[in-house]
Structure 1
Amino acid sequence: MRIGLILFGILCLGFISSNVWAGKAACHDPFYGMCYGIFHTCPAGCPTFCEVDCRLCKPYCACDKPGAVCQDPRFIGGDGIMFYFHGKKDKDFCLVSDSEVHINAHFIGKRGKKGRDFTWVQSIGILFSSHQLYIGAKRVSQWQESVNNMLIQLDGEEIMVLAGEGKTWLSPETGLIIQQQVDTNRVKVKVEGLFEIAAGVVPITSEESRVHGYDVTEDNCFAHLELNFKFDSPSKRVDGVLGQTYKPSYRSRVKMAAAMPVMGRAEKFASSHLFATDCAVSNFELKNEVAQDGVPFSVECQSGYGGKGIVCRR
């Protein structure tokens, strides 16, 4: 595999900062001198982790910004409108499909007492150029914040980012940058000119289980991803559960008056596996790398790590 460069220190991925300790966040971009280094208390909606918009010098919850995919899964589209998409447990769905990037999500969950699956996004598979990036939450029974429960793979090989805020892994060949936001379980991933993704692994807490009736037991806390996406220049053809909301012509069809506005037609976004581009709304144009003999290589994907994650190899 290509060798990533481990960088020590902070590599700026934009104007958004992360927290230094639980419940506090600061701007770390010196370009915003009036805000730089000032600590803020996180909002009530995300009391343990938040980010700061250095331009506005205000803390915010990533799950409340456009491009968010959090909770059961609760989306905030590129148009700023909130909706839910439940999908189906143990199935894969296309979140974003454009000519240069394709993102699928694997849903986990359990059957609720009323017959509906409670679902969460356990992992995402990102295709860009000829590369495949996996970001997923490991299966966890008893949650410990100090333990890294996130698995990241590039083209089938695990990426190890050193623990600690600001520690960064860089792959010059692919343009991929991965930066730790805190010691464990939260990273920011970026490919210049394509996308920036904030990803965190979180559990279902006992309080959440009680309030929502998830009935989560001690053998599995259903660790899952909280995500926030940014796309540099989505095309007018971009599609997917989230991607379609970035179209200039998009008009939301969810019933906003409903207590839980749900986007249906899950079959439209269904994919055969995490790195498949066979959903009905696919727009991705695979750019095959060519071997020295001029023959394009192929990539095969299968379950890995005891069923935890996807391994793709040339």
Structure 2
Amino acid sequence: MSRLLLIALVLVMVAVAEAQPRARPPSPAYGRRVRCKSREYPSCYYVEHRCPSTCPHQCVVDCETCRPVCECNKPGSVCQDPRFVGADGITFYFHGKKNKDFCIVSDTNLHINAHFIGKRNPNMGRDFTWVQSLGILFDNHKIFIGAKKTSTWDNSIDRLDLSYDDQSIDLAGGEGATWKPATGVTITRSRDTNSVVIEVSRNFQIKATVVPITAEDSKIHKYGVTDEDCFAHLDLGFKFYSLSGEVNGVLGQTYGSGYVSRVKMGVDMPVLGGKKEFATSSLFATDCAVARFNGTRLSSSKDFQYVNLKCGSGLDGRGVVCKR
């Protein structure tokens, strides 16, 4: 066989190979597996889903639609830098200031302050901030929940810090582990580590998860996080069972009877001001300018019953439809 014929044959074989359809790489396996755990939806009950790419580690299954949804896009969410989704479904940011405390909900029988941690951003003239802990007051009780400082993140290690009436809570490990300090108060692990649900009957429910700032997050947002501190913080979801029309606070005001959003719409990152208005002297202080707390349980028929509302919002959190 001549050299020219051999070369021609090789070229034909290469062309034929390139013309063959190539196998597609498998689609990426996103974050954790989640299931619907409500037996009220038998067609969806315990069907496994994977969290979508937009929230690979923070999603739940909407049992009614049998689809995974990002927890941080639901009304009543406080996540990230801190990104709030109000009761009206409008998303806004409240940056506050690092190492300071701010009132996020204040009503007659519920007061919640948040402690912010963060890093200074010299290029923006403000701090990057995240919610590190909550101080919760109701009746004559108080609950503390916080994220312990950590350098290198390992999700198998529990970084939750909990206390009830100044007594440290030793919550057993494992999903479903429950601690009940008093009638109507329940704290339950929603995952094996780093995630709990705090429930006070007829008052509120808080879902809290400790999460780190990852190297990828830091690179994308230019946080400048180093190996010394991954700025572990709380991603939060709130549900309120009985609020008055006078409720206030960074998040609480969005549930008020006469609330009109002060957020400027149509911008990429709508920011709410009012650091002085919502600032408080300590994590369990009720001295913010908008405080409403007096430690008594509401009983008025005019109270707003948000527990019976079913709300859904778009992926960007800017729209919401609520049905009673």
Which category describes the TM-score, using the shorter chain as reference length? 0.7 to 0.9
Tell me which residue corresponds to 2:120: 111
Runs of 5+ unmatched residues, structure 2: 1-29, 298-324
Q: Secondary structure at the match of 1:273?
A: coil
Do the aligned partners of 2:107 and 2:243 also contact (CA within 8 Å) in 1? yes
CA RMSD of aligned residues (A): 1.5
Tell me which residue corresponds to 1:214: 223
Which of 110, 123, 140 does residue 130 from structure 1 map onto? 140
Q: Show CA shifts across 1:134-187 (max 9, x none).
A: 0000110111111111101001111122111111112234x2111111110011
Q: Secondary structure at the match of 2:277?
A: helix
Which of 160, 165, 168 does residue 158 from structure 1 map onto? 168
The one-letter amino acid paired with 1:68 is: S
Tell me which residue corresponds to 1:11: none
Runs of 5+ unmatched residues, structure 1: 1-20, 289-314
Query: 2:107 aligned with 1:98, yes or no?
Result: yes
Distance 1:22 1:165 in 2: 18
Q: Bigger radius of gyration, 1 or 2?
A: 2
Superposed, which structure 2 residues align to 1:216-255 within 5 Å? 216-255=225-264
Query: 2:61 aligned with 1:52, yes or no?
Result: yes
Deviation at 1:53, TM superposition (A): 2.0
Structure whose residues are more often helix by fraction = 2
Q: 1:151 to 1:29 in 2, by over 3 A?
A: same
Tell me which residue corresponds to 1:307: none
Give the alignment's TM-score, normalised by structure 1: 0.82
The one-letter amino acid paired with 1:269 is: F
Deviation at 1:34, TM superposition (A): 2.1
Q: Show CA shifts across 1:17-36 (max 9, x none).
A: xxxx9521111121222221
Identity %: 54
The one-letter amino acid paired with 1:140 is: T
- Give the count of matched residue pairs: 267
Distance 1:154 1:119 in 2: 26
Q: Show CA shifts across 1:38-66 (max 9, x none).
A: 11121222112321122332211111100
Do the aligned partners of 1:24 and 1:49 also contact (CA within 8 Å) in 2? no
The one-letter amino acid paired with 1:202 is: V
Give the alignment's TM-score, normalised by structure 2: 0.80
Q: Secondary structure at the match of 2:228?
A: coil
Distance 1:287 1:76 in 2: 27
Do the aligned partners of 2:60 and 2:71 also contact (CA within 8 Å) in 1? yes
Superposed, which structure 2 residues align to 1:1-314 within 5 Å? 23-114=32-123, 115-173=125-183, 175-287=184-296
Q: Show CA shifts across 1:266-305 (max 9, x none).
A: 10000000000011111111359xxxxxxxxxxxxxxxxx
Deviation at 1:233, TM superposition (A): 2.0
Do the aligned partners of 2:31 and 2:50 also contact (CA within 8 Å) in 1? no
Do the aligned partners of 1:93 and 1:269 also contact (CA within 8 Å) in 2? yes
Distance 2:149 2:57 in 1: 22
The one-letter amino acid paired with 1:195 is: F
The one-letter amino acid paired with 2:161 is: L
Do the aligned partners of 1:24 and 1:50 also contact (CA within 8 Å) in 2? no
Tell me which residue corresponds to 2:26: none
Do the aligned partners of 2:277 and 2:289 also contact (CA within 8 Å) in 1? yes
Q: Secondary structure at the match of 1:209?
A: helix
Q: Show CA shifts across 1:186-239 (max 9, x none).
A: 111101100011100011001111111110111111100000100012110000
The one-letter amino acid paired with 1:232 is: Y
Do the aligned partners of 2:102 and 2:113 also contact (CA within 8 Å) in 1? yes
Q: Secondary structure at the match of 1:88?
A: coil
Deviates further, 241-250 or 74-83: 241-250
Do the aligned partners of 2:31 and 2:52 also contact (CA within 8 Å) in 1? no
Runs (4 or more) in structure 1 with deviation over 6 Å come to none
